Amino acid sequence: MKCPHCGGRNSRVIDTREAGDGIRRRRECKDCNQRFTTYERVALFSPMVVKRDGRREPFDRDKLMRGIQKACAKRPIAIEDIERLVSQVEHRVHSLGKAEVDSRVVGDMVMEGLRELDDVAYILFASVYIPLADLESMRQEVDRLMERR
Ligand SMILES: [Zn+2]
């Protein structure tokens, strides 16, 4: 680990602690005695998402976040809940351990989570996400939700 101050290669760890999903280490350079911080994280294998038209794009946490935020825009849902859902989905997608994941699989994970959070956001997200052919099952889902009230 190179010292950011002098470029020296000798440092010692003076503190180690858990930081979110990683480990944070405080180090002290043996050459210049200055301190710096390093983070250690598990390298998550990020799969490609296969879209409905066959195009592939890397799994993008920010894009997922924007999509869910859009569906939740006018709903009384805390940003923390949305972030938790995004992290949950990201974690689940990564732990599939696959090189490619169907966008449908990702969407289903989001819908599952949204359904718990807010019925309307769930419907809004589904209406964008579900192909037209499946609108009949969508309608049944709406009926089911109405009955529950
Ligand atoms: Zn140094």
Where does residue 54 fall: left (phi above 0), alpha (psi -120 to 50 degrees), or beta otherwise? left
Q: Tell how far the Cα of 22 is from the centroid of ligand 1, in angstroms.
A: 24
pLDDT tens-digit series, residues 48-84: 999 888 999 989 888 899 989 888 888 898 888 998 9
- Say whether both 37 and 85 belong to one domain: no
Is residue 4 domain-resident?
Answer: no
- Say whether both 68 and 136 belong to one domain: yes
Looking at the 3D structure of the chain, how many domains does it have?
Answer: 2
- The pLDDT value recorded for residue 131 is 65
- Say whether both 132 and 84 belong to one domain: yes
Q: Tell how far the Cα of 17 is from the centroid of ligand 1, in angstroms.
A: 22
User: Please, what is the average pLDDT of the chain?
Assistant: 86
129, pLDDT greater than 80? no
- Say whether both 92 and 144 belong to one domain: yes
Is residue 3 domain-resident?
Answer: no
- The model's pTM is 0.61
Q: Tell how far the Cα of 36 is from the centroid of ligand 1, in angstroms.
A: 9
- Say whether both 67 and 110 belong to one domain: yes
- Say whether both 63 and 126 belong to one domain: yes
Q: Tell how far the Cα of 26 is from the centroid of ligand 1, in angstroms.
A: 13
Q: Tell how far the Cα of 32 is from the centroid of ligand 1, in angstroms.
A: 4
Strand order in the sheet with 22-29: 11-19, 22-29, 35-41
CA distance 46 to 68: 20
The residue segments making up the domain with residue 31 are 11-41
- The pLDDT value recorded for residue 27 is 96
- Say whether both 61 and 76 belong to one domain: yes
pLDDT tens-digit series, residues 32-45: 999 999 988 776 66
- Beta-bridge partner residues of 57: 49
- Say whether both 92 and 21 belong to one domain: no
